[in-house]
Amino acid sequence: QVTLKESGPGMLQPSKTLSLTCSFSGFSLSTSGMVVSWIRQPSGKSLEWLAAIDWDGDKYYNPSLKSRLTVSKDTSNTQVFLKITSVDIADTATYYCARRSTGPFDYWGQGVMVTVSS
């Protein structure tokens, strides 16, 4: 059974660094073709793909945010992390992690709401 779950600070101040964790089970990120992505969704709006890391450790970033994003994974291949530097109010959103292999996102986490506020 594949499950993913995001965790994060809930609220943070502008200019700080946001650190998110995606903990997953039911699959291994070391399996060829497996990828975990981060996607966010401001309240009432559409979805924005942010970053991904694959089974081989290759990383992919949305160019619009690339300078602020860092994606990584742990050595046991059970967690993926995302850091976003210099957050501002526009980064307020629900953040999801999702799994894909060669196609679409077939499993999603429940999401974690992050509010940027002073």
Partner 1 sequence: DIQMTQSPASLSASLGETVTIECRASEDIYNGLAWYQQKPGKSPQLLIYNANSLHTGVPSRFSGSGSGTQYSLKINSLQSEDVASYFCQQYYDYPFTFGSGTKLEIK
The minimum distance between CB 45 and partner 1, in angstroms, equals 8
- Does 56 help bind partner 1 (rule: CB under 8 A)? no
Q: Among the candidate windows 19-27, 67-75, 78-86, 97-105, which touches partner 1 by CB under 8 A?
A: 97-105
Write the CB contacts of 45 (distance below 8 Å, at least 6 apart in sequence): none
Residue 3: which H helix or E strand, with range? strand 3-7
Positions in 15-54 near partner 1 (CB under 8 A): 37, 45-49, 52
Cβ closest to partner 1, residue 52 vs residue 87: 52
What is residue 7's three-state secondary structure?
strand
Strand order in the sheet with 69-73: 3-7, 18-25, 79-84, 69-73
- Does 5 help bind partner 1 (rule: CB under 8 A)? no
Site size with partner 1, rule: CB under 8 A: 22
Q: At 34, phi and psi to the nearest 5?
A: -80, 140
Instruction: Indicate which single residue of 64, 85, 86, 115 sits in contact with partner 1 (rule: CB under 8 A).
Output: 64
39, 49 contact by CB (below 8 A) = yes
Could you list the residues that contact partner 1 (CB under 8 A)?
Answer: 37, 45-49, 52, 60-64, 96, 100, 103-106, 108-111
